Chain A
């Protein structure tokens, strides 16, 4: 329940938190469009030879949507795994390490995928 006072202040007593909730739903909505696009793309390209794959991914609209997808899923899965870690890991040290690993994994996967799309686009 949001009372008018809370709405005026924007946040509940925790002073923070809704941005994760909102970001998770924003990226979910983006994924709703981008994931079917990527599944369709990969289903068409699977088994094709590299020159055909390169030609398709090098098209600006395809490359841009793929990079947007990678960014959106990286943000979404990082928040999701953070919730899982916070739910089940109660030792402070282990929790901090896992949250750090979570960030490294999400951004690492995104970095690899974006590098690959850029190389397929510009790599000649």
Chain B
């Protein structure tokens, strides 16, 4: 008995098919996005702490940090940061729905997964359009 099981364990057994073999489904891709945005937000939290710390340090350092965020690379990071926040938040809402045991059929899962990516892009665009109008960037172009 013990001999038999150790012989089995020693042999290289085939593993069940995993990521390499599946055609990506939208819920699978959104699951990956949820994890990746979560990881990005983990490090993004440093930016929030840094900005607050800069404000607490003094006017010169605060102006310096604000200046960095106002550069093109800084803006790209901020747009990405807000998209990651919104996407992760919508993904979380989807998980709240699933936690109740509802909408777990294939059709609902597909709808909720597509809604996550589409709404996250729309809401991010809406947020930055609002910021652009509020701050007069739109008027500046006209």
Using a CB–CB cutoff of 8 Å, the interface residues on chain A facing chain B are 25, 28-29, 31-32, 35, 38-39, 42-43, 46-47, 49-50, 53-54, 57, 66, 70, 73-74, 77, 80-81, 84, 105, 109-110, 112-113, 115-117, 119-120, 123
Q: Is the CB of B38 within 8 A of A80?
A: yes
Q: Is the CB of B45 within 8 A of A77?
A: yes
The answer to the question of B33 belonging to the interface, with a C-beta cut-off of 8 Å to chain A, is no
Interfacial chain B residues near A47, Cβ < 8 Å: 66, 70, 135
Q: Is the CB of B52 within 8 A of A120?
A: yes
Interchain nearest-CB distance for A37 vs B (Å): 12
Q: Is the CB of B55 within 8 A of A35?
A: no
- Chain B's closest residue to A44 (CB) is B134
A77–B135 CA distance with the chains assembled, in angstroms: 32
Q: Is the CB of A77 within 8 A of B38?
A: yes
Interchain nearest-CB distance for A23 vs B (Å): 14
A115–B134 CA distance with the chains assembled, in angstroms: 30
Which of B42, B46, B56, B69 has most A Cβ within 10 Å?
B56
A50–B52 CA distance with the chains assembled, in angstroms: 11
Interfacial chain B residues near A116, Cβ < 8 Å: 49, 52-53, 55-56
Encoded as 1 (CB less than 8 Å from any A CB) or 0, chain B from 28 to 64 comes to 0000000100110110011011111101101100110
The interface residues of chain B, by DSSP majority, are classed as helix
Using a CB–CB cutoff of 8 Å, the interface residues on chain B facing chain A are 35, 38-39, 41-42, 45-46, 48-53, 55-56, 58-59, 62-63, 66, 69-70, 82, 85, 89, 92-93, 96, 99, 127, 130-131, 134-135
- Chain B's closest residue to A73 (CB) is B45
Q: Can you pick out 14 interface pairs between chain A and chain B where the beta carbons lie within 8 Å of each other?
A: A32-B93, A46-B66, A50-B59, A50-B62, A53-B55, A57-B55, A66-B52, A77-B41, A80-B38, A112-B49, A112-B50, A113-B49, A119-B56, A123-B56
Interchain nearest-CB distance for B73 vs A (Å): 16
Q: Is the CB of B55 within 8 A of A50?
A: yes
- Among candidates A32, A54, A84, residue contacting B55 with C-beta atoms closer than 8 Å: A54
Q: From known contacts A50-B59, A109-B46, A123-B56, infer whether A84 and B85 are also in contact, taking CB-CB under 8 Å.
A: no
